[in-house]
Structure 1
């Protein structure tokens, strides 16, 4: 990252706002989607649905990747894509080619996944594809698109402004709302996603996956909750609890571990594990001093919005009739967009305490690149626990990774974090960032992704 140079945009481009000048009919950019695929994540507070949130969207991406290319070849998956054409002559988020629409899973009765795709501003034919999936579980990826790493951001006047630090500076980008019931995605009430169900579509389809990243994710609660109180000694010199409180909290760690272990074999215990571990080891860290659990640098006295943030203007923008029409939203099935669906969140609550790190070793040994990154101001899923589980992960390169030294991560000559890496496994701690690294450190996040795509040191 030390040698990273941000891509510059024309001066006229960065001043554009909604509606942008029509660029003429958009020419089916999805023909390139069979290129290399990098899967990117924003780990929500409980990014633990490894099969549901990793493998299933890859299956759907394979379907999307063949859409326009196969339209002339009669590919059998073509019929499962409903591409919206209403925004082709009125691009309103950035300057690159874009499309939106729905993906229907053939083995489900009524599942329709909403996607919004943008070409790379650099070279859409040779740049890789990044699929972004927001966690929660149950939160819309469009929030990240419009406030973190997408081609445009929405201001409080409900207009879009070009984002010069969008990840589509260096890659083709696709944001997907998942599971059904989240964002603009919809399905039959009794057809909510289950982990293994979605993998049925994968048979016979090759996914050109090159790597994936997880940001501030909960991947191994057995290890991560044991490190929850590490944030008492934080880089920001903030007092979260007293020394006595910390001692009392640490005394509860063994019981938390026991419950998490039991949860792996008995789903009925998972609710108790979540309530005990989170309630005793995480919640006191932010309630005692009214801090923002997603960024301890901020106060959160009134719990405004979801996670102490007020994104009501983004909700208003996405719920406007004009936006919905341009995106091709099925307003009969989805009359209103919400940042997070807490009914979905509750349905996945027993997955929160499941350990999913064991899914990584086969992928690492197959050469798939893995990046775990974490903002160091996040309390909900802290950086210490994230690094700890990567060190404990059993794979062929475990010893070398464990013995790897921390290297300073530089951006424009300034240290912005540090990394640990060996072969195709890497961990990055990002300074001065909370749960949403691309929002707090957009330049650093873009440089991180660029280095990862190039397979360079972070």
Structure 2
């Protein structure tokens, strides 16, 4: 089959999630050195229904093809679904100067991968590719502004298995029947994880942390709720046949939009009354405050009488209260200290370079991606579908209450320089999440934990907390890009449940 043709199984598959699985070579697995170059990648494509195809090999060579039919044991029995696994060596830059890079997937922990905790990370948007996270520095390779790759000294994958997902279907290199709402998308993630655990059984028992930001503040509570609900069903003897209990231990969210009311209610606060720089000019601020009551009324009506049409109309109404920034202001909405033309591509050149790399024919061949696919940081078809469904108009933060009350820990680590999803709106909705820790959270004070970060950790032990809030003074929306070393410190303390002070 020509690599530019769409395969027959793409037309048959209802939902297809391609990712890249990265694993160290055997010698690297035995080493705990942070500077050890990784040399083995596996491209994995998982279909959420149908049969299973497995390709594996080195340097892009397909060495194995297996086709399995559905089995009566259930949707998660071995051989009951599609997947494609392709091994690829040489993925990070080495001493020979050759780029050895992969841009998506499961980045196995450089230390004790068989027993390491698991982090599931994905983009926001809606429609943002999870590969966006790898460009900015979560994995062992990081892309620089000029498009080159370097070893990442702050890789999340040093101690933890990092599973990067293009979510929802349609984002990044995923394709197939795409959902138009976060609840349906969460069911796809649950299905995906169950099938990953079939292919990689050692991940099934690992402690799982869900990590995302921006619109991930809507995705994560829905995904966590789906996992938790299915876990309860399994404990009661119900649930999908063959499904496994998922060891969901915590959630960590950066600069999220979780509550639509808080997002718009406080947007002008960080865009017009910012002590560092106002991204709106005086005219925009004046008009924004005029239209804000109308915006909030429309949102409240849409929440009280929800329909896709009413919610979409409310979002359109709110565009008057939160217009696009004027490029002449010369600042980045996502970080008010950054001087640029205001566009995401212009302010984050890694995205432009990343798109060039991922859409290169050789890169697609290395990853096993069909040549007809085109990677973009945001799939606006997906974004539009969620917009027209009114998915943004919800108070997803309220889903955290039952989750935290049942022992699933929650961290918000937030960049104070973000004028997109500003810290004040996030803090506002956190105050109203009803958990056993709410009274203590409301009366506690923030503690200076790091020169660039304060922390408020409330919990039932001496660890990192069950309900924790961190504010980073020198980070914006893209916290990993802005403060990679600090974020890694936060990540390790959170996952290992260590006290902050």
**Same fold, TM-score > 0.5, yes or no:** yes
**1:176–1:164 Cα change, 3 Å:** same
1:34-49 residue pairs with structure 2 within 5 A? none
Give the aligned partner of residue 388 of structure 1: 428
1:230 matches 2:269: yes
1:455 matches 2:497: yes
Give the aligned partner of residue 378 of structure 2: 340
Give the aligned partner of residue 169 of structure 1: 158
**1:147–1:374 Cα change, 3 Å:** same
The alignment's C-alpha RMSD in Å is 3.5
**1:293–1:91 Cα change, 3 Å:** same
Give the aligned partner of residue 314 of structure 2: 273
Contact 1:240 / 1:288 at 8 angstroms: preserved in 2?
A: no
Helix, strand or coil at the partner of 1:451:
helix
1:418 matches 2:454: yes
Aligned mates of 1:275, 1:342 — CA distance in 2: 16
Contact 1:293 / 1:378 at 8 angstroms: preserved in 2?
A: yes
Give the aligned partner of residue 144 of structure 1: 133
Helix, strand or coil at the partner of 1:149:
coil
Structure 1 residue 311: Cα displacement: 2.2
* 1:200-238 residue CA offsets vs partner (Å, 9 max, x unmatched): 8453432110011111110011123211122133342x2
Query: Larger relative contact order (C-alpha < 8 A, sep ≥ 6)?
Result: 1
**1:297–1:117 Cα change, 3 Å:** same
Structure 1 residue 400: Cα displacement: 1.4
Contact 1:408 / 1:417 at 8 angstroms: preserved in 2?
A: yes
Residue number among 192, 207, 214 corresponding to 2:253 in the alignment: 214
Helix, strand or coil at the partner of 2:163:
strand
Structure 1 residue 76: Cα displacement: 0.3
| TM-score, L = length of structure 2 | 0.67
* 1:271-319 residue CA offsets vs partner (Å, 9 max, x unmatched): 23223334314646x6673421111112333636277645222111111
Contact 2:104 / 2:164 at 8 angstroms: preserved in 1?
A: yes
Unaligned runs of 5+ in 2: 1-30, 53-67, 95-99, 192-229, 231-238, 460-465
Give the aligned partner of residue 92 of structure 1: 91
* 1:166-210 residue CA offsets vs partner (Å, 9 max, x unmatched): 10112110100111221111114xx54544445384534321100
Give the aligned partner of residue 329 of structure 2: 289
Contact 1:141 / 1:177 at 8 angstroms: preserved in 2?
A: yes
| TM-score, L = length of structure 1 | 0.73
Give the aligned partner of residue 224 of structure 2: none
**1:181–1:241 Cα change, 3 Å:** closer
Unaligned runs of 5+ in 1: 1-7, 31-56, 64-70, 101-113
